[in-house]
Amino acid sequence: MARPTEAIIDRQALRDNLAIAQSLATQGKSMPMVKANAYGHGAIEVSKALADVAPAFGVACIEEALALRDAGIKQPILLLEGTFSSNEVSIAAANNFWLMVENDKQKDALLGSSLKQPINIWLGVDTGMHRLGYNSNTITKQYRDLSGSSNVADNIVLASHLACADDIGSQSTRKQIDRFQQCLSTLNNSSSHNIDWSLANSAAVMAWPESHGSWQRPGYMIYGNSPFSEPQQQAAKLTPAMTFQSAVISIREIDSGESVGYTANWTAKRRSTIATITVGYGDGYPRQAPSGTPVLINGHRCPLVGRVSMDMITIDVTDLPSVSIGDQAILWGPSLSVTEIATLCNTIGYELMTQLSQRVPRRYIN
């Protein structure tokens, strides 16, 4: 590798973070979310790293699921958004993909298919996020329609999603949990067995034990990052799995009054040493990162200055005792939280990691 920009992914951190999720909800199972290329970490390698301990995986769509199957992943894979066309149903059945069913088009495609084996179904109910899921008033009918079909395996899972679980004091989360439990109780009363259920995302796994069900769906926490805006006891135990790093490729001295980068929006107030790092928005480093955003150069926090360009950023290293071409630059990782960088960019760490481009090699360790 010539260009030094890369993302180092720690497999042991992934395993440790999943173990934390499992330890917090011991009555159920934890299904790692590996959608969106495992939040930028590489879905195939992440799934392989967790294959010995994960009972199933969650993805957004059938294309993501097929890529995992082609790579040799054997576990069941849940399609969180279900199907988009009727021909996907037979593909899902043949590949042991589980389907979320949350609208009549999906339900009708499933019930109208000719299948050799039934499919495991997750029945989505809208408890207040108003994004996906059936109205809770119709859920008994939907469950009856599905459970009466030979295309549907016996153990339907009732599922919903929490909108504000990352707000520890959220009253809307409590309302959503109550609505879900009322819906679950209604189904249990009309069924011959207790129905499996899933409600908890990463934030709920860590902060809302009453949301823990048969299945948890940890995502962000698997990758070692906290969804909370304030310190949280369980989140503090996580280890970031990604280190996004590059290196110094050029160094120069500039006089007071000289500007750096496109639009000349930063001007030196003293004679300054500027280091150029080979990373930019073409790699997924956020273009909106303001001057002052920290970068670790040889372990020291140094401020970004000037505009982020496609392939490079410039860093003020005037206060470093020494700096050389080739010195390491950490953009985010265990020693510099992606959340800190995201906050300065008015976004969230989820976006920064998932937008890491394919130009950035992923290197896997441990």
Reported as half-sphere exposure (CB side, CA atoms, 13 A), residue 362 has a value of 21
The Cβ of residue 206 has, within 10 Å, a number of other Cβ atoms equal to 28
Strand pairing class (242-254; 6-10) = antiparallel
Q: Which of 220, 223, 237, 262 is catalytic?
A: 262
> Could you tell me where the beta strands, DSSP code E, fall in 5-72?
6-10, 29-30, 57-59
The single residue of 35, 39, 107, 281 carrying the catalytic annotation is 35
The H or E element spanning position 267 is strand 266-267
How far apart are the C-alpha atoms of 15 and 46, rounded to whole Å? 9
Q: Please say if 107 is a catalytic residue.
A: no
Phi, psi angle pair for 22, to nearest 5° = -65, -35
Q: What is the crossing angle of helices 11-24 and 43-50, to 10°?
A: 60
Q: What is the DSSP letter of 290?
A: P
Instruction: Determine whether 262 is an active site residue.
Output: yes
Instruction: Match 């499919």 to its residue by tokens.
Output: 119
**CA-wise closest residue to 38 among 19, 16, 20, 11:** 11
Q: Which residues are catalytic?
A: 35, 262
